[in-house]
Amino acid sequence: MSRAVWLGGALSALMLGACGQGGGAGGGAEIDVQGLHPSGVIVQVTGVRSAGDRTLVNARVINGRDREIELNANDEVTYLLTDAGEKLLLAPSPSNDDLAIPADQTLDLALVFLGDLPRGETTTLVINENGSADSEYSTSPKFQLRLPLDGAFRGGGVPETSALSNMRQNVQSTLGAASGGGSSFGVAGASESSLRTVEALKTELGAVETERGTVVSLPGDVTFDFDQATIRDDAQSTLDQLAQLIQAGGEGRITIEGHTDARGDDDYNKSLSERRADAVKAYLVGKDVDEARLATIGLGELRPVAPNASPDGSDDEAGRQRNRRVEVILPNSQRAETSATPAT
């Protein structure tokens, strides 16, 4: 497949995924601004929210390259540029300050910029100021996107630093022409349409097929504030997609597991993990998921997916962050019995 064809298919998938995405969840401006780079990288900005001395830009990035890219390759190269020429510098992610995106992966970005954003009609997002805007071999692609600000100054607060979440394999385009024009997830009948909707939602959520079932992992630091069991506004769009996946799939019991890292008291960690699992259950029930299908359990620090400490005994914060999570296990009946043939 040529890079141009891949870019077109990936952009179409992004546009479909943006429907009902709520990039400005929790207030702010919901927008849809895309940038395509010749290297096979797509940036889609879905929301802007400014509060006090910080501004949040929600975005999604598809890295179509066969190698890792960086969106903040050097200090102070990714920023918001005001109409007056002032730069609002990025507050980088503590665990990924270069904003590195692995090959053939899609990630969601919550980019936080420091400084007062003047009220106006637009601002400019500059990514990799010193990168290349036209080289198809660049690992530091440059983007310059004009973002509308209507509604950006309404809504909740803004995180302290940037964060990356929900890494998943790139979507392979299976879009075909709908009978009424435009694009669709398929036109071969309701069963195929439902199957493709389920598969698209699984991809969006980074679901993994396991012997236990289809596992959707919700990062604790993204879904909840520190040491809290109240769902963050920014996490609601992800949970909305999870509710859609449950309703679009098959029947059966669903388990919601809360997990923590190994820091702190065991009993407290177990209690916190239980409360977080219960909070996810309550949210899904509020989205018309049958409560009788949902079971919760708090496992605390008992089932880590990454080391809590490095081999030398020092703290492994990246590992701890992966361990702080809620896992939703969908039954095997959610798995498609047949596979859809991609549209051509």
Question: The domain spanning residue 230 has which CATH number?
Answer: 3.30.1330.60
Sign of CA dihedral 44, 203, 65, 57: positive
For residue 194, what pLDDT band results from cuts at 50, 70 and 90? low
CATH number of 15's domain = 2.60.40.1150
Neighbouring C-beta atoms of residue 94, cutoff 10 Å: 13
What percent of the chain has pLDDT above 70? 81
How many structural domains are present in the chain?
A: 2
Are 84 and 219 in the same domain? Answer: no
**Structural domain ending residue among the three candidates 108, 133, 168:** 168
Q: Among the listed ranges 43-47, 93-97, 167-171, 175-179, which one has the minimum average pLDDT value?
A: 175-179
- Nearest C-alpha neighbor of 64 from the set 4, 104, 8: 104
Q: What is the rounded distance in angstroms from the CA atom of residue 205 to the CA atom of residue 252?
A: 20
Q: Judge whether 256 and 294 are in contact, CB under 8 Å.
A: yes
Q: Is residue 197 a part of any domain in this protein?
A: yes
Mean predicted confidence (pLDDT) in 232-247: 90
For residue 43, what pLDDT band results from cuts at 50, 70 and 90? very high
Q: Is residue 340 a part of any domain in this protein?
A: no
Sign of CA dihedral 293, 297, 303, 309: positive
**Which is more confidently placed, 179 or 105?**
105
Are 110 and 215 in the same domain? Answer: no
Residue 10, pLDDT > 60, answer no
Mean predicted confidence (pLDDT) in 314-318: 76
No. of H helices and E strands in the chain?
Answer: 6, 18
Mean predicted confidence (pLDDT) in 131-155: 91
In a 3-state reduction of DSSP, which class is residue 169?
A: strand
Q: Is residue 343 a part of any domain in this protein?
A: no
Are 324 and 228 in the same domain? Answer: yes
For residue 177, what pLDDT band results from cuts at 50, 70 and 90? very low
Residue 280, pLDDT > 50, answer yes
**Structural domain ending residue among the three candidates 168, 190, 206:** 168
State the residue range of the domain holding 235. Answer: 177-334
Are 124 and 64 in the same domain? Answer: yes
Q: Is residue 342 a part of any domain in this protein?
A: no
pLDDT at residue number 88 = 95
Q: What is the rounded distance in angstroms from the CA atom of residue 344 to the CA atom of residue 331?
A: 31
Q: What is the rounded distance in angstroms from the CA atom of residue 272 to the CA atom of residue 27?
A: 27
pLDDT at residue number 224 = 83
Are 158 and 232 in the same domain? Answer: no
Are 127 and 10 in the same domain? Answer: yes
Query: What does pTM read for this prediction?
Result: 0.49
pLDDT at residue number 26 = 52
Residue 127, pLDDT > 90, answer yes
Please state, rounded to an integer, the average pLDDT across all residues of the chain.
80
Q: Is residue 71 a part of any domain in this protein?
A: yes
**Which is more confidently placed, 22 or 206?**
206
What percent of the chain has pLDDT above 90? 42
Q: What angle do CA 22, 286, 191 make, to 5 degrees?
A: 70
pLDDT at residue number 248 = 84
Q: Judge whether 47 and 19 are in contact, CB under 8 Å.
A: no
Are 253 and 104 in the same domain? Answer: no
Are 245 and 144 in the same domain? Answer: no
For residue 271, what pLDDT band results from cuts at 50, 70 and 90? very high
Q: Is residue 223 a part of any domain in this protein?
A: yes
**Structural domain ending residue among the three candidates 168, 198, 228:** 168
pLDDT at residue number 201 = 83
Are 76 and 223 in the same domain? Answer: no
For residue 91, what pLDDT band results from cuts at 50, 70 and 90? very high
Q: Is residue 341 a part of any domain in this protein?
A: no
Are 329 and 200 in the same domain? Answer: yes
In a 3-state reduction of DSSP, which class is residue 39?
A: coil
Q: What is the rounded distance in angstroms from the CA atom of residue 167 to the CA atom of residue 105?
A: 7
Are 118 and 208 in the same domain? Answer: no
Mean predicted confidence (pLDDT) in 165-188: 50
Are 46 and 160 in the same domain? Answer: yes
Mean predicted confidence (pLDDT) in 19-32: 60
Q: Is residue 143 a part of any domain in this protein?
A: yes
Residue 202, pLDDT > 80, answer yes
